[in-house]
Amino acid sequence: MADRIAPDAPVLVIGLGRFGSATAAQLVRQGRDVLIVDDDTATVQRWADRVTHAVQADARDIDALRQIGAADFQVAVVGVGQSIEGSVLITSNLVDLGIPQIWAKAISDTHGRILTRIGATRVVYPEAEAGERTAHLVSGRMLDYIEFDDDFAIVKMHPPGPAIGRRIGDLAGAAKNGVRIAGVKSPGGAFQEAAPDTVVSAGDILIVAGTEAQLERFSSLGD
């Protein structure tokens, strides 16, 4: 059985485009030790004071990865995407080095399938996922949207008009859409678990769970 990876394990981030940079920056904010690798010297220099270690190297060369200690990491993120050949070669190198958890960016379904077949643990489609999320938010009815693989999503939203002044315990059943209201935040307050007798106010923010279709119907009540 594989050893459990510690939640605060150091992370190797390869490629400092938008995706790699955003990932590295968030990891630093979480207090994680981060080694960034990029083949551009100027980029590495800009990041040198922001992360634990910053190295200029060509990650397509497995010997270069060995020299910087990449094999000591349990978690790696491949942010290289525009060069599919480079992305595949880097991911393959990380697999050969025995890194147990490899997250890799893909720019197409074909690219993603290749990464999965060669051993990437998780393939991320940042552009596609951002586009899908934006499509749900542009109407203005939802404030945030997180979708999972099985057509299940959680959204943060203002209550639709017909929900205002009603008890949460009655709301989902009355709307007949199957959503579950999990949390409520009143103006100036913190999020709290939704209780059946909680009355929804106009200024509240709701955390609502359900399928994509159910959430869209619920958010558009009264439109």
| pLDDT recorded at residue 174 | 45
Structure tokens at 190: 């913190």
Rounded CA-CA distance 186/181 in Å is 14
Residue 150 lies in a domain: yes
Residue 108 lies in a domain: yes
Higher pLDDT, 12 or 172: 12
Whether residue 134 sits in one domain with residue 119: no
CB-based contact 86:60 (threshold 8 Å): yes
Whether residue 157 sits in one domain with residue 195: yes
| pLDDT recorded at residue 197 | 86
Of the chain, the end-to-end C-alpha distance in Å amounts to: 53
Q: What CATH number does the domain containing 116 carry? A: 3.40.50.720
Residue 148 lies in a domain: yes
Query: Which of 20, 10, 6 shows the shortest CA–CA distance to 90?
Result: 20
Whether residue 144 sits in one domain with residue 43: no
The string of pLDDT tens digits covering residues 48-103 is 999 989 999 999 999 999 999 999 999 999 999 778 999 999 999 999 999 999 99
2 pLDDT band, cuts 50/70/90, is very low
In residues, how long is the chain? 223
Whether residue 91 sits in one domain with residue 174: no
| pLDDT recorded at residue 70 | 96
Q: What CATH number does the domain containing 141 carry? A: 3.30.70.1450
What's the pTM? 0.70
Matching residue, tokens 């999965």: 116
Residue 84 lies in a domain: yes
Amino acid at 1: M
What residues make up the domain containing 154?
Answer: 130-219
Residue 5 lies in a domain: no
The string of pLDDT tens digits covering residues 132-153 is 767 766 666 788 888 776 678 8
Residue 73 lies in a domain: yes
Residue 92 lies in a domain: yes
